[in-house]
């Protein structure tokens, strides 16, 4: 019952509470470790309900009550989440440093993913969006299944939105929603919708923003998660104001203002005060307009001060942790020196050898520390840039390498080919034969296609079962030929080696810079249109983009 309650706590909180209540009624039958597990779930419950101090007290007691390193890491991650929501950033950054040191040692994927996501959440709340993007990408790299990608994708969308990289918000939205729906995680799905609606406001698509706000706010109302409710109310106020529904805008804004804890909802209060100030100014109610203008100014100052304090806490904590690490290293070396000196004093005959040993030991210690730091950086860099399952570039790293290659080819006057392909009926493979078989398929497809590529070709997994290949110095006919070779190679994979026998094919879209130019987004969009036509025409085909969607034609090699 404990494991089941744990599995539904974010997807069905009401059911989770009912199970937790039943477990507590029978708690005298639980073992000591199960009692600690129950305590962890209770801490999560209290945090979700907004009883933060009670939640913090429970979660802080868990590391002393268990030897289960996985449960410790999960409790610390949940505690970090609560500290972040409460704005206790000095404590949060210290705890985040401890968690990031434990993550590489953890053998449990779920615990690692949870830890990386919460660290990313902390950095997003602190306004350190590049750092947040780094950790959410690490989480995405370690997510092998669609259903556990949901939180990482939501955090990435938030970071991209805050960094003004809105094209990635538009690009990732649909896949993020699918991942969250697969996971049954309504909180993260609602946050994905929230940032997409904000993106729609930025591009002035007010009617669609209104439609989506009304549709998804109904789901938010069913969730017992106050922060989400408050931010959606602020969003409603802004959307209603922009479509000139001033009465609804006022009602929603006043609902936000009624939440007295401004420190937890700074951004929502800034939006609400600004809407009310503009509304009352339109109505010539200058007394009320002045009141809310003063509140707006006050809240903006508090928000900026809080943001500065968060960043200061981050750098201060980072400096303290570095100093502490250096101090520990220094003390360790000092202890080694003292031990050696004592040996030298007691054995004068061995002075020369011991002194030599001392210097060698110091060199080894320093070399080891340098090596550890270098390997740690390399490991995290690799994890951030490569797809953990297949070993090829992830979407972010593919885009980075492809942009660099496109710039070089454009300067040198070289043609670039782009291939986009998607495995046919991959969901059915996962559903019928299990995700382990799906993982095997993805690995075999990459291995099969890689055999036909050059060293400077850029190969990446864009997400799920979708892949892209950028071919510098490659004309359309050669790109078509490679796509057909890959299509044929995928069809020839012996699926019986997975333990099951099934049909495996892929649909390909191809374009080149001669047709689509040197803009990566345009190249991928055109290749995607061609791939869509390949799927519409019966799948297991290669189509080339010729300039218009209707003109996309199958290649002469189509099977």
Domain annotation covers residue 419? yes
d(CA 317, CA 330): 20
Tokens of 69: 């390193």
Q: What is the pLDDT of residues 436-481, one digit of tens each?
A: 899 999 999 999 999 889 889 999 999 889 999 999 999 999 999 9
Predicted confidence at residue 463, as pLDDT, reads: 82
Which residues contact residue 297 at a Cβ distance below 8 angstroms, ignoring those fewer than 6 apart?
none
Residue 225 phi/psi, 5-degree rounding, is -125, 100
Tokens of 217: 């706010």
Q: What is the pLDDT of residues 116-170, one digit of tens each?
A: 989 998 988 888 889 889 988 888 887 665 556 888 889 999 999 988 888 889 9
Domain annotation covers residue 206? no
Parent domain of 402: 395-544
**Per-chain mean pLDDT for the chain:** 85
Predicted confidence at residue 298, as pLDDT, reads: 83
- The yes-or-no verdict on residue 357 having pLDDT over 80 is no
What CATH code is carried by the domain that includes residue 419? 3.30.70.270
Decide the pairing of beta strands 466-472 and 416-423: antiparallel
d(CA 324, CA 533): 59
- CA 377, distance to chain mean position in Å, is 19
Predicted confidence at residue 384, as pLDDT, reads: 64
Predicted confidence at residue 147, as pLDDT, reads: 54
Domain annotation covers residue 180? no
Task: For residue 283, count other CB atoms closer than 10 A to its CB.
Answer: 12
Domain annotation covers residue 336? no
Domain annotation covers residue 212? no
Q: Are 77 and 55 in contact (CB under 8 A)?
A: no
Q: Which residue has the higher pLDDT, 380 or 299?
A: 299
CA dihedral sign, ordered 453, 455, 457, 459:
positive
Mean pLDDT score, 402-407 = 95
Domain annotation covers residue 458? yes
Q: What is the pLDDT of residues 218-248, one digit of tens each?
A: 888 888 778 888 999 999 999 999 999 999 9
Q: What is the pLDDT of residues 157-210, one digit of tens each?
A: 999 998 888 888 998 999 889 988 888 888 889 999 999 999 999 999 999 999
User: How many structural domains compose the chain?
Assistant: 1
Domain annotation covers residue 289? no
**Which residue pairs, CB below 8 angstroms and at least 24 apart, start in 176-179?**
176/149, 176/150, 178/146, 179/146, 179/147, 179/149, 179/150, 179/153
Domain annotation covers residue 21? no
């Amino acid at each position: 019952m404990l494991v089941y309650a744990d599995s539904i706590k974010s997807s069905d909180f009401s059911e989770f509470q009912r199970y937790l209540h039943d477990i507590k009624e029978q708690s005298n039958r639980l073992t000591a470790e199960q009692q600690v597990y129950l305590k962890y779930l209770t801490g999560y419950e209290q945090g979700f309900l907004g009883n933060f101090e009670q939640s913090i007290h429970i979660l802080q007691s868990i590391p002393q009550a268990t030897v289960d390193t996985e449960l410790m890491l999960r409790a610390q991650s949940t505690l970090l989440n609560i500290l972040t929501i409460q704005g206790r950033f000095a404590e949060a950054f210290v705890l985040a440093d401890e968690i990031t040191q434990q993550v590489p040692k953890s053998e449990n994927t779920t615990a690692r993913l949870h830890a990386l996501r919460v660290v990313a959440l902390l950095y997003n709340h602190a306004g350190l969006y590049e750092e947040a993007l780094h950790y959410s990408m690490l989480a995405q790299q370690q997510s092998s299944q669609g259903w556990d990608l949901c939180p990482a994708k939501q955090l990435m969308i938030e970071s991209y939105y805050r960094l003004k990289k809105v094209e990635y918000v538009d690009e990732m939205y649909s896949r993020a929603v699918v991942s969250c729906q697969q996971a049954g995680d309504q909180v993260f799905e609602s946050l994905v919708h929230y940032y997409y609606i904000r993106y729609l406001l930025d591009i002035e698509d007010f009617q669609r923003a209104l439609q989506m706000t009304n549709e998804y706010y109904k789901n938010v109302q069913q969730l017992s998660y106050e922060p989400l409710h408050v931010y959606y109310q602020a969003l409603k106020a802004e959307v209603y104001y922009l479509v000139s529904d001033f009465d609804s805008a006022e009602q929603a804004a006043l609902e936000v203002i009624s939440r007295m804890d401004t420190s937890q909802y700074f951004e929502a209060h800034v939006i609400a005060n600004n809407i009310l100030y503009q509304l009352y100014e339109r109505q010539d109610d200058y007394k009320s307009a002045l009141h809310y203008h003063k509140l707006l100014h006050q809240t903006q100052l508090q928000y900026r001060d809080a943001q500065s304090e968060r960043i200061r806490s981050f750098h201060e904590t980072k400096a303290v942790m570095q100093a502490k690490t250096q101090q520990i290293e220094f003390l360790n070396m000092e202890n080694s020196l003292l031990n050696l000196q004592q040996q030298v004093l007691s054995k004068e005959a061995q002075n020369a050898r011991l002194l030599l040993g001392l210097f060698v030991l110091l060199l080894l210690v320093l070399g080891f520390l340098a090596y550890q730091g270098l390997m740690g950086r390399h490991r995290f860099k690799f994890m951030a840039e490569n797809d953990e399952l297949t070993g090829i570039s992830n979407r972010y790293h593919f885009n980075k390498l492809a942009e660099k290659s496109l710039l070089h080819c454009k300067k040198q006057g070289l043609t670039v080919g782009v291939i986009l392909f998607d495995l046919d009926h991959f969901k059915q493979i996962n559903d019928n034969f299990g995700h382990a078989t799906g993982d095997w398929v993805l690995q075999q497809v990459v291995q099969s296609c890689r055999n036909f590529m050059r060293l400077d070709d850029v190969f990446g997994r864009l997400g799920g079962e979708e892949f892209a290949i950028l071919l510098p110095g490659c004309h359309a006919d050669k790109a078509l030929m490679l796509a057909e070779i890959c299509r044929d190679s995928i069809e020839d994979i012996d699926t019986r080696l997975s333990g099951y026998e099934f049909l495996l094919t892929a649909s390909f879209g191809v374009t080149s810079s001669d047709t689509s130019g040197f803009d990566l987004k345009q190249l991928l969009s055109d290749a995607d249109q061609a791939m869509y036509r390949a799927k519409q025409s019966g799948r297991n085909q290669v189509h080339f983009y010729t300039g218009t969607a209707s003109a996309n034609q199958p290649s002469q090699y189509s099977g």
